[in-house]
Amino acid sequence: MRLAVLTSGGDSPGMNAAVRTVTAVGLGRGHEVMGIRGGYSGLLEGDAMDMDLATVNGISGFGGTILGSARSSFFPTPEGQEQAMARLESMGIEGLVVIGGNGSLTGAHMMAQRKKCKIVGIPASIDNDIGHCGSAIGVDTAVNTIVDACDRITDTARAHRRAFIVEVMGRQCGFLAMRAGIAAEADAILYAESGLGEDQLVSKLRDVLRKCFNSGWHKKRVLIIKAEGVKVATSTLVERLQKHLTEDAPGVEIRETVLGHVVRGGRPSAFDRVIAQRMAYASVLALENGRNDVMLSWDVPGGHGQATQDPFVRIVDLGEVLEETERLVDGTSPVIKARLALLKQVEDLLLI
């Protein structure tokens, strides 16, 4: 077969490990492999290159994506879809692997409906906001990056008995803030799923600051991790809390650090490299078996979807993935409910 691979949407550490494996396994099993540059924008332009082992040798440890990525507003339009399918046909591509997050997988699902070129998706998004997937590519690395940054902030905060609000990525999902907050022993974790408004957040954080900085208390720093999806600006929280601190804990200052795209960079962790490689391997086999409109997923054995040759890699229909993704974002998914319930249990432990 003539296969192609592209990376799309927000890049995530580990994408290159998936690109390498699709290429190496595809070539090793006798297929041609093309790399489409620049995500769906590149597909619309027919910007493709032949992939060989030299191109992908050693890239598993690189952050970002050697193929480049882009966000295309034209691609999802009917004209964009026509142009994309025409490009795939003109390049003779029989199977396409799309590595990306929700927007990318939505695009893959749209193309797969045409039932021409076979399309399979691999979940890659640091937000971990993809349905029926235990861990998307990039999540583990992003959590470690945040925890490392929080450890560094803690060093300097302790030196000055300061409070810090560290804002992290996670446009619609607070997973990164939740997991990194637990690992970094944050004193408070703010996430949009809590539904708290500005005054409620200020009141909650005042309680935390008062308890932690009360005389005789052993805390030398207060670390608050905030997901960017919380619609109250970090600077607003800092400004309001600093005013209260003059009364609640005189002499204590509160500062902010917005990690932004730092969270998305860096060398992928071993875990992200391995799950990327294992899902990518299964994606080539899925295309060989004629599968279309599916996503490979990293999940527990017996999890949602169908089994593959790898006990931890499942095959899930893309339509089901996108439906569950919506439930993850609107909070009705059992996964989100369980995640919030678990966090509630440990939240009291944050202040020990």
**Active-site residue numbers?**
127
The residue from 5, 8, 10, 44 that contacts ligand F6P (CB under 6 A) is 10
The residue from 109, 118, 264, 278 that contacts ligand F6P (CB under 6 A) is 264
SS3 315: strand
User: Tokens for 20?
Assistant: 């390498």
The yes or no reply on residue 126 touching ligand F6P (CB under 6 A) is: yes
Near ligand F6P by CB under 6 A, which window of 44-52, 119-127, 145-153, 287-295?
A: 119-127
Sign, CA torsion 118/316/265/14 = negative
C-alpha–C-alpha distance, residues 339 and 247, integer Å: 36
C-alpha–C-alpha distance, residues 140 and 14, integer Å: 10
The residue from 3, 153, 169, 212 that contacts ligand F6P (CB under 6 A) is 169
Residue 191 CB partners (closer than 8 Å, separation 6+):
170, 174, 177, 178, 226, 227, 229, 230
Q: How far is the CB of 120 from ligand F6P (least distance, A)?
A: 21
Sign, CA torsion 264/266/267/269 = negative
Q: How far is the CB of 177 from ligand F6P (least distance, A)?
A: 11
Q: How far is the CB of 171 from ligand F6P (least distance, A)?
A: 3
C-alpha–C-alpha distance, residues 316 and 73, integer Å: 26
Start-end of H helices in the chain? 15-28, 39-45, 53-56, 78-90, 102-112, 139-160, 175-183, 198-213, 234-248, 270-288, 318-330, 334-347
Near ligand F6P by CB under 6 A, which window of 61-69, 165-173, 210-218, 266-274?
A: 165-173
Sign, CA torsion 50/70/14/295 = negative
Q: How far is the CB of 228 from ligand F6P (least distance, A)?
A: 6
The residue from 36, 39, 100, 127 that contacts ligand F6P (CB under 6 A) is 127
C-alpha–C-alpha distance, residues 36 and 44, integer Å: 10
Q: Which is nearer to ligand F6P, 71 or 211 (CB)?
A: 71
The yes or no reply on residue 101 touching ligand F6P (CB under 6 A) is: yes
Q: How far is the CB of 107 from ligand F6P (least distance, A)?
A: 14
Q: Annotate each residue in 219-238 with x if it binds ligand F6P (CB under 6 A) or - if it does not, as one string.
A: ---------x----------
Site for ligand F6P in 275-334 (CB under 6 A): none
The residues of the shown chain that bind ligand F6P, judged by CB under 6 A, are 10, 71, 101, 125-127, 169-171, 228, 264
